[in-house]
Structure 1
């Protein structure tokens, strides 16, 4: 199932061999006259599409591709009568789809979907530097049939240090339906965030987001052509004080779900999240060990029955303790 590149929560992992029983046996290719004059790396990429071009390029660089017995350069030219030997090399991402036992806080589960209350500190999807110990690994252990569903049923994600609700499709049909609901912006996602300062009572932030032009770790509000639409509705719930500075508990409702959307949007108004080490001010970091953000409410139409379903979870213990420190009561679920 193709994922819309404009859909929420871009999943930045691309490993076509993961979970597919990749074969790393040597591959012998006999080039044909039709390949004459083409770049060698492009020819090889076309003949072994099961491996990404970036991985093939690494194998060229490391000497794992030879032409007529001699190390080959990807930028070289094919003449159409060579024998090319490719020696595939395993990479960490090849074990990304390994089931791993872990405790999952399952709020709801049936034959079609699973709703998880993700703890802060858990990475959702394998990626650079996190090829194991992710929610995906835990899902595959809990529900082995998810190996046949793209991304193990994951349709959206939460940042590593954001806690709260996520939905997983347990079948291809359920996952497809959930993706369509996200595309139609009918999935209800409400978050609670503690921010520095005192925003106005309510508002809508309709500001596109793209990668930060100078810091590739960050996202930023942008009018660049590549920026993607992003809309956040927020409401001020209550105010308090932390280290003699005003803080506010804000409820945010997402129409879209771009990477770091709430953190970027609130910071763009001048109200960075408490504990946010990426978008907050360095001298305010010691007051909380992560961004104070939780996906508290999730509502959707059940993919099989069409019934509207909704879940609310209490704040994570550390977030609840933070609210107590600042003199704000945890809001009751309406």
Structure 2
């Protein structure tokens, strides 16, 4: 028997004036916008009990009801890709994602993704939207992710993400010497000219990042970033906005800046660092089944340890 999905949400007043498919994408974030459009057009997703069009405007207060059949994800093939599993039970799976692993299949990455690996590890995830994936990390960002193994767990985790009650802290190494920590409260949206980039823009969605200094070097800083929101590329965009771009960030980092008088070893290390220096180090949420708060941590990957050691060694040579 196919799984029947039933969801009921009220559109908040803050969404007044936006398109129905945009509102649905915010309220039912575990589903792709294209899938939600299809459900709107088919009548599986109704607005105040009536069918509507994806482009129809909402005014706040309307009731969105979703009743849909969840088909198996037959187009996604299970693949035997090794996973670093930190925790697993009947409801959730927490893993430590390596650099280079794309989370979800897309144009240019039809397979070899975390989703394909999850389907191999747990075939029952084929019946869960996006194989239970409720949030993402960029391809070259490492660290912790939680995956839902049941529809109930997925609904709970998505709700916690929307309520900003999931705690996520990242380790990052940025260019420039920070004098102190702080908060970036700046909306993020699609870059007006480059569709591959995000940007701080008045028309964007609210985005808040808190950061604090862990260790300072001669021309760089090791920081911890805590997310209140989870916008695409949020830490990368916010740190670049503050003029402290992440080491190795080809998209937002701009031209490589080398500290004056840096050793040749450090110069080569900075030139060759292959990814943005960002790692999701802690993750905490309310367990969907037990209702208890749970937390997990993941050590820095080897490449970040080596980078930090190189920055320290360069500073010691100057003392």
Q: TM-score range by the shorter chain?
A: 0.7 to 0.9
Deviation, 1:321, is 0.8
Classify 1:12/1:247 alpha carbon distance in 2 versus 1 (closer, same or farther; 3 Å). farther
The 3-state SS of whatever aligns with 1:271 is: coil
Deviation, 1:240, is 1.5
User: Which 4+ stretches in 1 moved above 4 angstroms?
Assistant: 1-4, 7-16
Say whether residues 1:307 and 2:292 are aligned partners: yes
Say whether residues 1:251 and 2:228 are aligned partners: no
Q: Larger deviation: 155-164 or 198-207?
A: 198-207
The 3-state SS of whatever aligns with 1:327 is: helix
Report the counterpart of residue 231 of structure 1 in structure 2: 208
1:189-235 per-residue CA deviation (whole Å, 9 max, x = no partner) reads 000000000224111111000001111111000002xx111010000
Give the conservation status (yes or no) of the 8 Å contact 2:128–2:150. Answer: yes
Classify 1:283/1:131 alpha carbon distance in 2 versus 1 (closer, same or farther; 3 Å). same
Deviation, 1:282, is 3.0
Cα distance in 1 between the residues matched to 2:310 and 2:32: 36
Unaligned runs of 5+ in 2: 8-22, 45-72, 258-269, 314-319
The 3-state SS of whatever aligns with 1:115 is: strand
Give the conservation status (yes or no) of the 8 Å contact 1:105–1:116. Answer: yes
Give the conservation status (yes or no) of the 8 Å contact 1:235–1:250. Answer: yes
Unaligned runs of 5+ in 1: 17-45, 50-93, 329-334
Say whether residues 1:131 and 2:131 are aligned partners: no
Cα distance in 2 between the residues matched to 1:325 and 1:9: 40
Report the counterpart of residue 158 of structure 2 in structure 1: 179
Q: Aligned runs of 1:195-214 on 2, under 5 Å?
A: 195-214=174-193
Deviation, 1:97, is 1.5
Classify 1:232/1:261 alpha carbon distance in 2 versus 1 (closer, same or farther; 3 Å). same
1:294-326 per-residue CA deviation (whole Å, 9 max, x = no partner) reads 000000110000111111111011111111111
TM-score by length of 1: 0.70
Cα distance in 2 between the residues matched to 1:257 and 1:5: 14
TM-score by length of 2: 0.73
Classify 1:154/1:10 alpha carbon distance in 2 versus 1 (closer, same or farther; 3 Å). closer
Figure out how many residues of one structure are paired with residues of the other and give that number. Answer: 249
Report the counterpart of residue 217 of structure 2 in structure 1: 240
Give the conservation status (yes or no) of the 8 Å contact 2:25–2:31. Answer: no
Cα distance in 2 between the residues matched to 1:148 and 1:10: 13
Cα distance in 2 between the residues matched to 1:249 and 1:97: 38
**RMSD of equivalent CA atoms:** 2.5
1:78-135 per-residue CA deviation (whole Å, 9 max, x = no partner) reads xxxxxxxxxxxxxxxx965111111000000000000010001000011111110000
